Structure 1
């Protein structure tokens, strides 16, 4: 890669893990693209989707907020959640803005671009598809659970996830971004309900296999009750491979330090435990393993990735693309 060109980094994901990663990356001199799931159906997003046939705005809203460059008051306004005893209660203003702009422009993707411009967003934000979708999970016992928010509630082992309508296509810019990236990052987040809904879209998995970019998975630090109970890092990767094929990742970033006992006790009550890793198992999956202390104790009382450390690591990975 020549020195005069900014490295192109693409981040795929959704949920709470993705914005944490992006807040660090936006400070670097990079050409950044984010690809975000639109399968959420809980909370404000779910209520809006029941009333208006729209891609889920919630994860997109959080990414816009993370990548915005506006004053604190405007940022707070966009993320404001109404707490009133009427139909607005629980709704996020940002969700309403995105749905309103989608109604005005006739396209959710266009709405995302317009609102991104309004908030002076770093890089480009792509909803994975430009239509309303529903996530389903087939459990190991053969039952099918429909709805992103319902899947973890069943607390059954998940065999696979899939989307309807069938044969969805990503917006063309998504595939182009992956194919022309220097680094593709699969962000931390809910494996089956935030990460895989992006990867299982037609052509996205193929683009991941065809790209010349480095492909890195930032592994979750803790398991998630109802999705990844007792999963180690290799189990997370194997779930991705089972859905889109084995030649889709090059490396994995794992947390390699002990977690404070008082924090572990809180998670234990939620039936969540640290994600362990076995170097030999990960090597057998074809991965190089990057072991680092990636936990942020300072800015959050719970387990969160260290956005500054991760951003620095990812920036150097992109710069050193062979």
Structure 2
């Protein structure tokens, strides 16, 4: 653990969960590197990816916005999604700007770096790969479903997910960040379509396994139809381990607050329900379990309480620093 200077945190994931988490963490004196999935193929991101043959910008855009330090109107403009009757319909302005910068600079990563300067981003935002990748799922019946946006709607149970092309190179900056990290955070986010696509980039997964940093998994609050139907917390962990061929999670953060029945009823329409935290099974896997009230409600949906989760994560770092000083 680094005694002097800011402790280094690497956060791995994608989707809404990652952005919510980062809004809380950026308020602490830490050096943040976010490694973000680029397997999204739906909506505006998918259209840009297919037309320009670049990595999907959507999750990157959300993370840049979450870590930005600009006037709220600038962030709102960056996140604005057009609702028109022409080809602009459905596109996010931020996605278009990232695509334009990629065209101007000739490189997706360079575009992200330039956008980070414009948005005064706190930390580094890195794609899991600097190339277009496709996520596939092998179902339990042996069929293959291709495309991140299609996998949850296949109506079948996932056996495993994998990426193409076969050779995918991570960014050297991502490898360096993992090697020098004091804390590695995985999640929250869709298990098969936001978290695993990062860890399946070969060298990223290997470096996470080999890292001596404390590794924390933030478990989802609700199950997800088409991905984790009826999954317990340990089922989430087991799925990650099965794909990684190593057991690397030191600590899991789980919620111990009751989800109100009216919220549960709303989620029933999506075949989702609160994740059961099977603590005994988690502990048998050698994982420290942190229980806390970490949920909040936004527009009728459940989200992780960004301030509470960030405080817990920073306390883990603080504890490590103190132990290493003694």
CA deviations over 1:128-158 (Å, ceiling 9, x no partner)? 1000011000011100000000000102111
* Matching residue of 2:314: 315
Q: How does 1:102-251 map to 2 (within 5 A)?
A: 102-251=102-251
Do the aligned residues in 1 keep the contact of 2:44 with 2:92 (CA within 8 Å)? yes
Measure how far apart 1:3 and its partner are: 4.6
Listed as ranges, the gaps of 5+ residues in structure 2 are none
* Matching residue of 2:38: 38
Q: 1:102 to 1:234 in 2, by over 3 A?
A: same
Paired with 2:17 and 2:155, the residues of 1 have a C-alpha distance of: 21
Secondary structure of the residue aligned to 2:253 is strand
CA deviations over 1:297-320 (Å, ceiling 9, x no partner)? 3x4421100000000011111222
Paired with 2:222 and 2:13, the residues of 1 have a C-alpha distance of: 17
Secondary structure of the residue aligned to 1:304 is strand
Listed as ranges, the gaps of 5+ residues in structure 1 are none
Paired with 1:88 and 1:170, the residues of 2 have a C-alpha distance of: 32
Do the aligned residues in 2 keep the contact of 1:205 with 1:248 (CA within 8 Å)? no
Count matched residues. 321
Paired with 2:3 and 2:158, the residues of 1 have a C-alpha distance of: 45
Q: 1:153 to 1:292 in 2, by over 3 A?
A: same
Secondary structure of the residue aligned to 1:34 is strand
Measure how far apart 1:4 and its partner are: 3.3
Paired with 2:244 and 2:154, the residues of 1 have a C-alpha distance of: 24
Secondary structure of the residue aligned to 2:61 is helix
Do the aligned residues in 1 keep the contact of 2:2 with 2:182 (CA within 8 Å)? no
Secondary structure of the residue aligned to 1:320 is helix
* Matching residue of 1:253: 253
* Matching residue of 1:19: 19
